[in-house]
Structures are given as C-alpha cells and as structure tokens.
C-alpha cells in the first residue's frame, strides 16, 4: 500500500510572483530585441524607408486639398498630379534658396557668427564672471572647423549620404507620393482587408488619426516657421543686418526642429547683428526673436495644431536626440512628427483620441474613394480579435 501525496496549495512553476516577473521580463526583452531589429532594418533600408515616410508626410499635408478637389469633380489622378507638382515646386524652391543663398554665403555667415561670439565673450570677460574662456574657445574653434569644412555638408545629408542615393531617393519619393495621393485609401484597404471587423474599425481609426496628425503637424509647423522667418527677417532688414536673407532661411529651416532649431537660428542672427550693429542691435534682434517665439508658442501653435499635437518638451528632446543620432539632420526633422504620430496611434487604438483638437479627417480625402465595405463606427462588444 503506497502513501498518498498530501495536497499542496503551491502554484505551478511560472505562475507564482517570481514566475510572473520572469515572464514579463522575457516578454520585454523580446520586444526590445524586435524593436532593435526593426530599427536596424530601417537604417539599412533607409533609401526606401525615408522616401516612404517623407511621401506619407507630404501626402497627409495635402489631404484637405485633395479632398476639396475631388468634391468639385476632379478625377483622382488629376488632383494628385496638381498637388504633386505644387509640392515639388514648393519644396524645390526651398532647396533652391538654400543652395543659392545659404550655401553661397555660409563661410561668411560662419565668420560673422564667430566674430559675434568673440565680442560676446569679451563682454562677459569684463564682467569678471567665473567662466573658463579656454574651454569655450576650444568649443568655438571645433564648431568653426566643422561648419566651414566639407564634412558639414556631408553630415547634413547623412540620412541619404551618397549623391546616387540622393537622386534615387528623390525619384522614389516623387513616385510614392503620387500613388499615396491618388490611391491612398485603396492601398490601405488592400493591406487591412483581411482583418476581422473589430480590428479593421480600430486600424481605420488609427489611419485617420495618423493622417490628421501628420497633415496638421506639417501645415502648422510650416506656417509657424514661415511666420518666424518673416518676422525675424523683417527685423534684420530694418536694422540693415548683412546676410538677412540667408539668416531668414536658416530660421525657417530651424522651425522644423522644435525647441532647438528656432533658438539656435535666433542666436546666430543675434551674433551677426552684434558684429554689424553693436550691442543694441543684437539686443533688438534677441527681443524680436523672443517676441516671435512667444507669439508662436502661445497663439500660432495652439490654433494651427491643436492640443492633440502637444508633446512634453522632454519627449521632444529625446526624440530629437535619437533622430539626429540615427539619421542626421533628416532624422532630426522627421523624429518629432513620427513621435507625434506614434502617440496619436496609441491614443486612437485605445479610444482616447480627441478628433476635435485638429479636426476629423475622412480617409476619402486622402486620395481616390475605393469601392470598399463601409464599416460601423461602433466596435462590437463580443468579436474575435483576429
């Protein structure tokens, strides 16, 4: 006769407290490994990934115009062609100004900024502040060598470094942009057509929200950057500061890099004004920069972008740093809209988004209206997830 084993209340392996912690830790490690793998794949395929992202951002920015044209009877292909030509003209014009104005006077601009920095440093030295001027001088010399050397131009295009890649990426962006504008919903519904109804409802909501956020961010940021460049540029022209046009273009470009870009561009303009117009000219430029940024932060951004696009400054700085490390200046410009879309996707997926903040967008505005099944906007309470 064998003795029976007394019953135990001990939980099975992996189901006690330590088991749950270990399981969650393993899941976290797997997710991190997958994320690193995805990021690595994106970096290796940047010649494809960057054009897709840029085309999606531009197409989202033009989505209200596409919808307006289609509601007035224009065929999808014609509306997409008009918007494509307009986007190429606008972006090409900005690039032309950068090449003809900023690059031509970049060495002179760097020298003016250096002279202004030296004057500011001399002024601080007279105040007997505990500042190690030798360290500051080393930083200044390093920055000057960098911006006046050929490596700066190469680094500025680190996302698409080689000339061949740049041409290929540009042509690929144009082609992808045309099809996004013309057949955006068809492409989306082709990708999600096999999903269960409940999941399709969520993915459609995520798609609408992503297009809304991307479009609102680009249109709002471009408008804010244009206002910044115009306001500071007019002040520079009134003060007769040399290189006013290149400085205004730099301010405009800096507007697409939140927090850091506009501040650096304003400091650069103030340093040039310090050399040519003296301390009071620099003070006036600084005052104009502060005034314009206050107008931007307290009025323009809330009106043009809405609350849904607001990110905490710490999140923006982390995104900018990561984007700059991974993709150079292109990564810095794209990092914030990608982060904003990621946050909007999470809110839309869990039903926490607020369409009223930037206006609800119909996916049909994002190109040609496909013949697809119209889904209910209410998620069924008992529905298989997959």
Residues 41-99 have pLDDT tens digits of 777 777 888 888 888 888 888 888 888 888 888 888 898 899 999 988 988 888 888 77
pLDDT of the residue at 160: 44
For the stretch 217-228, pLDDT in tens is 888 888 888 888
pLDDT at 372: 43
pLDDT > 90 in the chain, percent:
2
Averaged pLDDT for residues 180-188: 86
Per-residue pLDDT of 104-154, as tens digits, reads 767 777 777 777 777 666 666 666 655 555 655 565 565 555 554 444 444
Separation between Cα atoms, residue 133 and residue 56, nearest integer Å: 47
Nearest to 304 by CA among 231, 362, 225: 225
CA–CA distance, 288 with 106 (Å, rounded to integer)? 23
pLDDT band for position 267 (50/70/90)?
confident
What would the mean pLDDT of 154-171 be, rounded to a whole number? 61
Which 3 state secondary structure label does DSSP give 261? helix
What does the pLDDT average to over 173-177? 90
**What torsion, rounded to 10 degrees, do the Cα atoms 179, 185, 189, 191 define?**
40
- Indicate whether 198 pLDDT > 60: yes
Model confidence at 311: pLDDT above 60: yes
From CA 305, how far away is CA 286, in angstroms rounded? 26
Stretch 282-303: mean pLDDT, rounded?
A: 82
Least confident of 134-138, 206-210, 264-268: 134-138
Nearest to 58 by CA among 174, 158, 139: 174
Average pLDDT in the chain: 74
Evaluate if residue 156 carries a pLDDT over 60: no
In DSSP notation, 23-48 reads HHHHHHHHHHHHHHHHHHHHHHTHHH
- Tokens read off for 205: 């909501």
pLDDT for residue 377: 41
CA gap 373, 333 in Å, rounded: 37
pLDDT at 380 over 70: no
pLDDT at 3: 55
In this predicted model, which residue has the larger pLDDT, 94 or 8? 94
CA–centroid distance for 180 within its chain: 19
pTM exceeding the 0.85 threshold for the entire prediction: no
DSSP string, 170-206: HHHHHHHHHHHHHHHHHHHHHHHTTS-HHHHHHHHHH
pLDDT value, residue 73: 86
**CB neighbours (10 Å) of residue 40?**
10
* pLDDT higher than 50, residue 300: yes
* Neighbouring C-beta atoms of residue 199, cutoff 10 Å: 16
Specify the pLDDT at position 218. Answer: 85
Give the residue, 272 or 152, on which the prediction is more confident. 272
């Amino acid at each position: 006769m064998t003795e029976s084993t007394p019953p135990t209340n001990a939980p099975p392996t992996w189901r006690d407290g330590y088991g749950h912690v270990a399981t969650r830790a393993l899941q976290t490690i797997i997710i991190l490994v997958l994320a690193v793998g995805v990021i690595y794949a994106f970096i290796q395929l940047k010649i494809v990934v960057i054009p897709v992202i840029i085309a999606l951002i531009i197409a989202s920015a033009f989505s209200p115009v596409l919808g307006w044209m289609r509601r007035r009877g224009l065929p999808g292909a014609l509306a997409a062609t008009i918007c494509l030509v307009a986007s190429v003209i606008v972006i090409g014009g900005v690039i032309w100004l950068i090449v003809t104005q900023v690059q031509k006077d970049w060495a002179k601009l760097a020298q003016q900024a250096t002279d202004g920095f030296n004057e500011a440093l001399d002024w601080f030295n007279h105040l007997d502040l505990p500042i190690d001027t030798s360290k500051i001088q080393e930083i200044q010399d390093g920055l000057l060598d960098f911006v006046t050397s050929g490596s700066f131009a190469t680094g500025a295009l680190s996302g698409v470094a080689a000339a061949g890649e740049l041409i290929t990426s540009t042509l690929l962006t144009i082609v992808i942009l045309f099809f996004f504008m013309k057949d955006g919903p068809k492409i989306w519904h082709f990708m999600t057509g096999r999903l269960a109804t409940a999941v399709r409802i969520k993915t459609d909501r995520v798609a609408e929200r992503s297009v809304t956020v991307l479009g609102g961010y680009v249109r709002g940021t471009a408008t804010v950057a244009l206002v910044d460049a115009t306001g500071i540029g007019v002040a520079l022209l009134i003060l007769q500061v040399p290189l006013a046009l290149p400085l205004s273009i730099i301010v405009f470009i800096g507007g697409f890099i939140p927090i850091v870009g506009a501040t650096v561009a304003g400091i650069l303009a103030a340093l040039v004004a310090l050399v040519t117009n003296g301390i009071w000219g620099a003070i006036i430029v600084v005052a104009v920069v502060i005034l314009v940024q206050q107008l931007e932060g307290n009025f323009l951004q809330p009106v043009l972008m809405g609350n849904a696009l607001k990110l905490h400054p710490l999140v923006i700085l982390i995104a900018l740093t990561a984007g700059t490390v991974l993709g150079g200046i292109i990564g810095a410009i794209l990092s914030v809209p990608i982060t904003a879309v990621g946050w909007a996707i999470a809110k839309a997926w869990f039903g926490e988004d607020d369409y009223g903040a930037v206006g609800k967008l119909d996916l049909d505005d994002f190109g040609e209206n496909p013949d697809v099944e119209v889904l209910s906007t209410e998620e069924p309470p008992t529905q298989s997830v997959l």
